[in-house]
Chains A and B, each alone.
Chain A
């Protein structure tokens, strides 16, 4: 079993707000991330797939295919977008880095045919990242 990780970057705006909370609760829980005008990050995405090394090609996965799937399913959807307003999953879900990792997993997993998705890591800043392994 070999693990392969591909990185990509995207930039997006978001803010944290739960319509079920009062304004005071939103402010208390989310602090300055609650500003409705939004703020942005340069996100770094790491997608790790695993599989046996194909004896003929020496590959775990066709990198071109992985890159295409990541571009189509993730980067085209998230890059230079206001997540709360333009990405359907975040009309109802708060676009925290936790939920971003889960949404990216859900977008990628059904589209990867040869390799198995192992981990989605999303860096919101160099100091903060979230890992999702598809666990319930």
Chain B
């Protein structure tokens, strides 16, 4: 029996949306107030969805202790209370929540041994959320 399990996590970080490939005016026009040079922050909520057969011995798709350990040590530790623009993955990519979804998907995917990663969904605010299902988004 295949089941899909979702776990939610939270972290807070700052970012500034700005592309060096565009003029100051273009940046302001495209990113609006997100282009404020001092940056701004969000409380991000991440949903990690994994799927797989329910293990006959444990009744689990994925051991939550392992999943929590992976996400805490490789995602929360990496991003919580940080300025996203200063991280290496955003040296050449704009730290939009779309790109953050892709980066987190790749990190979690590398760390999962048994369960299949279905989706990373991030709520940047209560009003907007982004999903990446791993289909070569970048």
Contact = CB atoms under 8 A, between A and B. Distances in A.
Contacts of A18: 57-58
Contacts of A20: 57
B4 A93 contact: no
A131 to B, nearest CB: 4
A29 interface: yes
A99 B4 contact: no
Interface residues of A, number: 26
23 contacts: A16-B58, A18-B58, A20-B57, A94-B58, A96-B54, A96-B58, A96-B60, A98-B3, A98-B61, A102-B1, A102-B54, A127-B7, A128-B5, A128-B8, A130-B3, A131-B3, A131-B6, A131-B49, A132-B1, A132-B3, A132-B4, A133-B4, A135-B2
Given A16-B58, A135-B2, A136-B1, 10 more contacts: A18-B58, A93-B59, A94-B60, A96-B58, A98-B5, A98-B61, A127-B7, A131-B6, A135-B1, A136-B2
